[in-house]
Amino acid sequence: MTDMPSGDNLRVSSWRLLLANPLTLASGVVLIAVAIAAGTARWIAPSGINDVDVPNALQPPSGAHWFGTDELGRDILSRVLVAMQASLQVSVVSVAFAVVVGVTVGVVAGYRGGWADIVFMRVVDVMFAFPVLLLALAIVAILGPGMTTTMLAIGIVFTPIFARVARASTLSVRTEPYVAVSRTMGTGHGFILSRHVLPNIAGPLIVQTSLSLAFAILSEAALSFLGLGIQPPHPSLGRMIFDSQGFVTLAWWMAVFPGAAIVVIVLAFNLLGDGLRDVLDPKQRTLAEARRNR
């Protein structure tokens, strides 16, 4: 009678809890919309990205050009859509790289301990000592600018973050009694890592992934602004803002629309990350459930 399960009626599924938060729901919807728009940019863009039309240069937003035109008369809406695609592509690929490499390094270091831990983590410490953009700049400077290099640079810069998060979570999971029991049963390390460690460290990593996607967008924009990221004639949000500098007083729309695209995507990833943290972090979760029950 009193021997009741702890997962009682107060417990709700993570999905329902996640969707019950209006901010998370809204940012999820925005991200899906952005992804669709970016994915289909080539077809839905009203005009070509490099359709120069000098007589119509620096037109303010209008029915023909919703976001206006730039100094060469190119349609800014079309360029923003295509640039968003490039931004998302860069951030997703570079974060995926960072997750795969960083989590592998972190889990091995945390689980094995000993010299592997010391060597890997000192390398990570060294990488952390550089400001993110400076390190990315150095990598781009060595390998030469371009989209692939940008992905690689951002991926390398973000790897230590994932290594640290994965290592810290692995360290706490490694000492859990259920891992000890598995070891006493003769279970191998591969089985323990894939069945017990990875599922239990996934929560913080998912949150970190969402937040890192936001930072990757910002980093890509910054590199492109400096002329080291995506190269013209392919449009990029950072480059578009750079190009607008000379026209800020003449054509505000040239800077505002690419800037707004960055803000919307970054904000949505950040809010999604916060929402995920509320649900996936057990301490925050109690608060999220209480808010819902109130």
List the helix and strand counts (H, then E) for the chain. Answer: 13, 0
Nearer to another protein by C-beta: 249 or 293? Answer: 293
Q: How far apart are CA 289 and CA 11, in angstroms?
A: 8
201 burial via Cβ count (<10 Å: 0-12, 13-18, 19+): buried
Nearer to another protein by C-beta: 30 or 206? Answer: 206
Nearer to another protein by C-beta: 170 or 244? Answer: 170
CB of 124 to another protein, least distance (A): 22
CB of 278 to another protein, least distance (A): 13
Q: What share of the chain is helix, strand, coil (3-state, %, to 5)?
A: 75, 0, 25
CB of 212 to another protein, least distance (A): 23
Neighbours of 99 (CB within 10 A): 21
Question: What six digits make up the tokens of 185?
Answer: 């049963």
CB of 10 to another protein, least distance (A): 7
Q: Which residues bind another protein (CB under 8 A)?
A: 1-11, 176-178, 180-188, 191, 195-196, 199-200, 286-287, 290-291, 293-294
Whether the CB-CB separation of 46 and 78 falls below 8 Å is answered with yes
CB of 223 to another protein, least distance (A): 38
Whether the CB-CB separation of 18 and 24 falls below 8 Å is answered with yes
Nearer to another protein by C-beta: 42 or 178? Answer: 178
| DSSP classification of residue 75 | B
Nearer to another protein by C-beta: 129 or 185? Answer: 185
